[in-house]
Structure 1
């Protein structure tokens, strides 16, 4: 508070003046006997009480008048802390960017940063006028448009009220770019983005945040440090549970331990490495917990938990997942004799290694005859199989029903299977292998291969496979030979998909494996495998695509309590897939065509770093939005002061008239 403000309020000390005046007015003179006094009637007690009431009422009115006078003098110097828009008179177009990332869950003075940010957005909307355009963007990964630009301020208020906290990572760059795109379409001259964020995006060493629009970080005080630890992941390997803990200050782990819970009961615990909780430097550790035989046999899903408390509660729990490789590829090459010619593994394995797709490839001698053996894989490549046995067909059928992907390359072996073998469930009819004089594929039908399709214009082969008409009609043809015969086909089987190539993937039968288009085929198959894989654990904010005719699911509750059942999930249908972007950490349970599937969402480690991102100095200038506007209520106080003076005059006149009317007439004899 400034000195002049204190001086103006000091006028209130004059409230002592009415008090002294009333004290002096109540002083009584010395009583002396006056002989004619017996001629005057005695005053009634109620008159004395009325005089005292009159004095108190006048005293109250005069005191209130002095206080109002002091406030009137200080009003021009008082500023309020409410946010408002600074405008040059014309209407403005604004985008409110609300950061709903995990770091905004941190509480300051009992309120989360997100709650404070949402209240600030409401204050900005309270100063909006007719003609202004408002949009709302959420800055958690991935950035989303909560409300497209509109002049309906009530709709904007509803969008802000509907915004909720999440556990997402922060993407300020993407949110600002989205805001810029929205503002470019507005006809207003004055355009700006008002951002409510703690700027803790884990990129403190990144360059200053670049903005192509007018940006104002309305509440810079949100960027505060706070001690926090996150249980990033917990993975079970047999009787061991490997955990990973990330802390922004080592002291945040002081006095805490990691416990493993099963069915609400503690079955294992660890205090972490000795001395790990000393100092304020960042801390990263990976404690491993041993389960007893009884605990390892517990049928309940395991949950890892950090005891104690810190800035964010939702990252202190982690659902335990079992180690696996659901995104791996299995490669079955029946043409392994070619290894002599190439001087190493089959061409398929060499090509996958060269592509570095990130998908591990496991060579298998034959197609597994048990579905359990195919369960760890998401994709299966089979090169020129001599048919499939009944057991192999059942295993592959289960694999496809569960969403697996199969690439089937057909050659001379596939055309001459032994008795009892067939190519079901991929093909229902036998295939034929024969020599061909056609060289190259149709250049008008190379869209699948892109530019690399030009390398197949003169591809040479000893022969090619021909499918039965009924099978060919069931497939979607993606590439053809120059005579119109199919080269690459696709069709859905169950929740999975089958890709068929009418050439074997062997350099002995054609030069197709030596062309760039061959790498394009494998790269596309690996990418599709990744997209269809069901990872047990992903980082929050990454989308899931679920294939199935009927997909239902339930997610975790907002406070990440594993003992509570979350609400049903809203899935977006995207063709044969159902899409969802999880925004909360914890375990998600789906039912896909009647089959249960469990997935886990982990927090982003960078959200534990509360250090703010660097932004231009102009973006923090309070003058951009009148961060502390003057509060002019002098006219209200002036009216109150006039009313008090009028009340005093009225009360004095009223009580004087009452006093005169109550004096009895004196009779003189």
Structure 2
């Protein structure tokens, strides 16, 4: 509030003037002697009423007039601004509001433009998410009849909260249901969804409003800009990410040993992913090599901070963080006889407090993927591991490949693995088929490639019931895969249009019955098939990984195939740890219950901790749950209970903002607009009060002579 505004409001102190006027108007009555009164003894006064107001209605009217006058003087000086669109000649607008509900939006808004996020938190500044939601409500409040609006959430994966509608009340309801989450950020996916929602609408003016801190883990990506037909507006520069943050992205326990991965924000000018560092066993980290990213960047948010393992309020282990830490896996020894579930926590504070704690329990480490691949057939001419292992390592999916010489004959040997990849096996014996089918039915995910060896299976070997029918191998009558049928492989499917293998497997029609063909050859024959079996799923491809048969294993689509396979294995419960925003898929289960447990790892039982149930959605007859918040979860699947962990996505710790094109900041798209001036309304109230005062004075003047005559 400025000095001028404060001075205008101080006029309200003149409300005491009517009181003073009424008191000054009361004069002491003139005393005149009355002769008979001398015969009456004097009586002392018992009360004095000289200070009472004679006309309460007149006083109240004058006091209200003074207050209205003060408000009238201050109203033009008050500027309550809000976010508003600039319309083109008053035309209707089709608007898509994109709200970032990711973890990084929990950081406080630093309106002062400084880098001290802790000071902003202590001053009570709202979070970026709260400010973005407030701006979205302001934009929704400025919509007029004839406008259309949609709401898109940019937390990964991007989702549509409200499809395009002219029902403005539905927009307000959709915004009221938006809540923060611990997801990663998917700006590109959210903007694509917003454009799809706006295309085809009758309004000529189509705009996307992006309310985000722009920290999507890709600071080097192309700047955010609009298209010729749909403008993109990024209005609030105060939301732009900044500051420093450290977070716990993974905390596993194996016996009396804890392994905790801590990641810190990269410096603003640091290239690449800005992550460096090596693991250590409870001691000080070695100094960073000269010229390394960690050494050149200097101290980070890890300076003067420590990592603790706690059981409630009791600290079981503690280690100081390296001030130059970017990403590091820290090992700690735990004392004997500790609770099953503990808490890993960072001391001190930073931009985001929600990622400074994580449950610590036996999560089983990385996702285990068993692979049966013959290195003599599937190899790289330049040497090194088979393409399968190299691809999984390059994808960095937190999955560990465990090579096996053959498929185990007993189901118990497969239970330790979430997924199984078998490349061109010469069929399976009846014992292997039974154990493999039982493992898949209990939730396992298998990927089979069918090549010349699969077609030459010996007598008694086969793939039933995983792949029904007979597998044959012959020359391919068609060249390439039809990308229009390979949407499951994503954009990389276009790279398979010119695949020219020596041959391909041909399947019986029974193999596709009750299954989903994820990709087809150009002649319509199946290339990749997904077949559900019990609670699990079987993927089979009509080409092997062998580089002698084709170059599929050397193309980007091979990476997309493995990414989808590992994602399916993780979603079906193969991993006890899931990133916030990912989905658990429960095929074959009838009764599914997922609860978030607010347990701090103290001496009390986790069963008595407060719980919050998550909604279970059914999509294409498959039960799915997407946990939005990190923490401890308890799953009840057909009466069987298990404990899972949802962790922070590592790339969400990177607070370096994405660039924005100048066209997305253009003033003609909109800006901050002042609220409606209330001066005319206050002036009207003041005139009414003045008229009331004149009326009361007139009535009082008439009443005074009447009282004198009566006396």
SS of the equivalent of 2:611 reads coil
Output aligned runs, 1:583-598, within 5 Å.
Answer: 583-591=628-636
Aligned to 1:570: 616
Deviation at 1:657, TM superposition (A): 3.4
Pair 1:637-2:654 in alignment = no
Once the two structures are superposed, residues 215-247 of structure 1 have per-residue CA deviations (whole angstroms, 9 ceiling, x without a partner) of 444544444756643211112344321112234
* CA distance, structure 2, for counterparts of residue 199 and residue 560 of structure 1: 32
SS of the equivalent of 1:566 reads strand
* CA distance, structure 1, for counterparts of residue 438 and residue 90 of structure 2: 68
Deviation at 1:130, TM superposition (A): 1.4
SS of the equivalent of 1:71 reads helix
Change (3 A) 1:591 1:318: same
Change (3 A) 1:470 1:97: closer
Gaps spanning 5+ residues in structure 1: where? 39-44, 507-511
Output aligned runs, 1:193-208, within 5 Å.
Answer: 193-203=208-218, 208=223
Pair 1:530-2:578 in alignment = no
SS of the equivalent of 1:95 reads strand
1:258 aligns with one of 294, 300, 308:
308
Aligned to 2:72: 72
Aligned to 1:440: 475
Q: Could you say which structure has the larger radius of gyration? A: 1
Aligned to 2:292: none
Output aligned runs, 1:343-422, within 5 Å.
Answer: 350=386, 352=388, 362-374=402-414, 375-376=416-417, 378-381=419-422, 388=429, 390=431, 392-401=432-441, 402-405=443-446, 407=448, 414-416=457-459
Contact 1:229 1:253 in 2 (8 A): no
Pair 1:25-2:25 in alignment = yes
Aligned to 1:179: 194
Once the two structures are superposed, residues 588-616 of structure 1 have per-residue CA deviations (whole angstroms, 9 ceiling, x without a partner) of 44455666565432213443455554435
Deviation at 1:323, TM superposition (A): 4.1
Deviation at 1:288, TM superposition (A): 1.6
Pair 1:294-2:329 in alignment = no
Output aligned runs, 1:251-650, within 5 Å.
Answer: 254=304, 257-261=307-311, 268-273=316-321, 276=322, 284-295=327-338, 300-306=340-346, 312-320=352-360, 321-331=362-372, 350=386, 352=388, 362-374=402-414, 375-376=416-417, 378-381=419-422, 388=429, 390=431, 392-401=432-441, 402-405=443-446, 407=448, 414-416=457-459, 440-443=475-478, 451=497, 454-456=500-502, 492-497=532-537, 513-516=548-551, 526=562, 529-534=565-570, 535-550=575-590, 552-556=592-596, 563-574=609-620, 577-591=622-636, 599-610=644-655, 612-616=657-661, 619=664, 624-625=669-670, 627-650=672-695
2:246 aligns with one of 216, 219, 229:
229
Deviation at 1:153, TM superposition (A): 0.7
* CA distance, structure 1, for counterparts of residue 425 and residue 326 of structure 2: 53
The alignment's TM-score, normalised by the length of structure 2, stands at: 0.70
Deviation at 1:139, TM superposition (A): 1.9
* CA distance, structure 2, for counterparts of residue 178 and residue 478 of structure 1: 23
SS of the equivalent of 2:54 reads helix
Aligned to 1:653: 698
SS of the equivalent of 1:243 reads strand
Deviation at 1:378, TM superposition (A): 1.1
* CA distance, structure 1, for counterparts of residue 221 and residue 506 of structure 2: 56
Aligned to 1:96: 97
Count of residue pairs brought into register by the alignment: 621
Once the two structures are superposed, residues 428-448 of structure 1 have per-residue CA deviations (whole angstroms, 9 ceiling, x without a partner) of 99x899xxxx96244499769
1:242 aligns with one of 243, 249, 259:
259
Deviation at 1:574, TM superposition (A): 3.5
Change (3 A) 1:531 1:157: same
Gaps spanning 5+ residues in structure 2: where? 39-44, 109-120, 266-298, 487-492
Contact 1:478 1:490 in 2 (8 A): yes
* CA distance, structure 2, for counterparts of residue 180 and residue 19 of structure 1: 65
Aligned to 1:54: 54
